């Protein structure tokens, strides 16, 4: 049985779907109700979009939006995020051609048939190819995802893990001392430890 990459029959509606995703706030869960009421995509042809979004990892198996979903809403990142998700979701196609997104539809169909072991008469393969191409219109494969701002960066804190201190001696020999630091946020505790090291060992 052929394991097809992500596709939808109504691939021509993908542009509208992702445009609406950008406009609306991120929901706790991406449900049919959210799709029809908040995004105003009421047509039954949009219903398969939810399992499709799972397959390209814009929502998880519990219908909760992923990091990619949230970051896609940022215009400065959206095209790079889409390219990232495409390469992951259609990885088999990219094993056949590194620049699959530059291929024409008939070339993509040929590559898919080859890597999936599908017949040239397979009726689903053209839908996969068309879905892939529609997504590629929303992506930039040459762009880079901008680094996060200072507020988004994770702070580095001192933990109880043991740092390594290497002290050279006059003979050119070095010693490595492993310290098991206490799990505390009291700076004075660490100041006392390193002061003791300096006075007793670093001479």
Name the residue with higher pLDDT: 87 or 199. 87
Q: Express each pLDDT in 174-198 by its tens digit.
A: 556 666 666 565 666 667 776 776 6
What is the residue range of 192's domain? Answer: 164-200
What is the residue-wise DSSP string for 35-78? IIIIS---SGGGTTHHHHHHHTTSB-TTS-B-HHHHHHTSTTTH
Q: Is residue 43 part of a domain?
A: yes
Q: Are 168 and 90 contained in the same domain?
A: no
Neighbours of 98 (CB within 10 A): 8
φ and ψ of 165, to 5 deg: -115, 120
Q: Rounded CA gap, 66 and 180, in Å?
A: 37
Which of 136, 155, 186 is the endpoint of a domain? 136
Q: Average pLDDT of the chain?
A: 84
pLDDT of residue 41: 96
Spatial CA neighbour of 22 closest among 43, 8, 42, 38: 38
Q: Are 176 and 107 contained in the same domain?
A: no
pLDDT of residue 121: 93
Q: Express each pLDDT in 108-164 by its tens digit.
A: 999 999 999 999 999 999 999 999 999 999 999 986 655 444 444 433 333 444 445
Overall pTM > 0.85: no
Mean pLDDT on 28-51: 96
Q: Rounded CA gap, 124 and 179, in Å?
A: 61
């Amino acid at each position: 049985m052929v394991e097809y990459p992500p596709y939808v029959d109504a691939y021509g509606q993908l542009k509208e779907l992702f445009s609406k995703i950008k406009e609306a706030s991120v929901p706790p869960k991406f449900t049919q109700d959210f799709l029809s009421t908040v995004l105003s995509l009421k047509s039954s042809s949009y219903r398969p979009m939810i399992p499709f979004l799972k397959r390209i990892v814009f929502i998880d198996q519990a219908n909760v939006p992923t990091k990619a979903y949230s970051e896609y809403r940022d215009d400065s990142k959206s095209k790079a995020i889409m390219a990232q998700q495409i390469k992951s979701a259609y990885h088999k196609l990219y094993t056949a051609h590194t620049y699959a997104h530059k291929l024409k539809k008939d070339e993509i169909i040929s590559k898919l048939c080859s890597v999936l072991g599908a017949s040239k008469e397979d009726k689903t393969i053209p839908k996969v190819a068309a879905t892939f191409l529609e997504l590629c219109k929303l992506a930039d494969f040459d762009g880079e995802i901008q680094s996060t701002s200072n507020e988004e960066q994770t702070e580095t804190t001192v933990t109880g893990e043991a740092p390594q201190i290497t002290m050279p001696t006059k003979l050119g020999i070095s010693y490595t001392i492993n310290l098991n630091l206490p799990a505390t946020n009291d700076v004075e505790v660490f100041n006392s430890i390193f002061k003791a090291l300096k006075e007793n060992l670093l001479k």
